[in-house]
Chain A
Amino acid sequence: DIQMTQSPSSMSASLGDTVTITCLASQDIGNYLSWYQQKPGKSPKLMIYGATNLEDGVPSRFSGSRSGSDYSLTINSLGYDDEGIYHCHQYYEYPLTFGSGTKLEIK
């Protein structure tokens, strides 16, 4: 199975900051990676697919990138609404796997 190692597990940042969350794939997954945002008690929301493609309606402050087997989600100009847990997900092959999640707190 493909392991997705996500870091950090939690982070705290201030309003207006830029933060980056990363996922390392245990083998090649091409660009078959998506990112989800999950608010407390809510279902996940698709933010990025194909490693770099912004889902419709997602603010352009969010962006995805890839460097080899490292995938990153960057959020610019942090706002209170960005607080939540972010999950990466590889869909290159079955079984589909997720990272362990990053809890983002806005100070």
Chain B
Amino acid sequence: EVQLVESGGGLVQPGRSMKLSCAASGFTFNNYDMAWVCQAPKKGLEWVATISYDGSSTYYRDSVKGRFTISRDNAKSTLYLQMDSLRSEDTATYYCARSDGYPFFDYWGQGVMVTVSS
């Protein structure tokens, strides 16, 4: 059974950093591109970033370029999102998601809440 379990969320002050993790199991992690998708409270889904199966390629939405870094450790079957210079508008639930060949998402984690507030 495919499982994606996020961790590392919580309350953080504006301008500070936070690192999210997503532990994957039930599939061969290093065969799949992975992504982070967020959802602000009562809002729609927003794609954040994608990393290729081997980590060689990364893609970001403009609003997080230069602040967020997506990475992966295939030996640990874990996906990461390093979030720096956090802003109040980054407040959202962050989902880890798997891409099956094309960049749509066939499995999602349960999500982790990040609140940026002083």
Chain B residue contacts of A46, Cβ below 8 A? 104-107
Tell which of A55, A87, A91 touches B103, judged by Cβ atoms closer than 8 Å. Answer: A91
Q: Please measure, in the bound complex, the distance between the C-alpha atom of A1 and the C-alpha atom of B60, giving whole angstroms.
A: 13
Q: Please measure, in the bound complex, the distance between the C-alpha atom of A46 and the C-alpha atom of B111, giving whole angstroms.
A: 15
Distance from A32 Cβ to chain B, minimum over Cβ atoms (Å): 7
A5 within 8 A of partner (CB): no
Chain A residue contacts of B108, Cβ below 8 A? 43-45
Distance from B38 Cβ to chain A, minimum over Cβ atoms (Å): 11
* Total count of chain A residues near the partner, CB < 8 A: 22
Secondary structure of the A side of the interface? loop
Cβ A32 vs Cβ B102 within 8 A:
yes
Q: Please measure, in the bound complex, the distance between the C-alpha atom of A42 and the C-alpha atom of B104, giving whole angstroms.
A: 18
Chain B residue contacts of A91, Cβ below 8 A? 102-104
B78 within 8 A of partner (CB): no
Closest 8 CB pairs of A and B: A96-B47, A34-B104, A43-B108, A98-B45, A91-B103, A101-B44, A94-B59, A100-B44
The contact sample of 14 A-B pairs, CB cut-off 8 A, is A34-B104, A43-B95, A43-B109, A43-B110, A44-B95, A44-B108, A46-B107, A49-B104, A49-B106, A50-B102, A94-B50, A94-B59, A94-B103, A99-B44
Known pairs A87-B44, A89-B104, A96-B50 / 5 extra A-B pairs, C-beta < 8 Å? A44-B95, A45-B108, A89-B45, A96-B35, A101-B45
Tell me the B residues contacting A by CB distance below 8 Å. Answer: 35, 44-47, 50, 59, 61-62, 95, 102-111
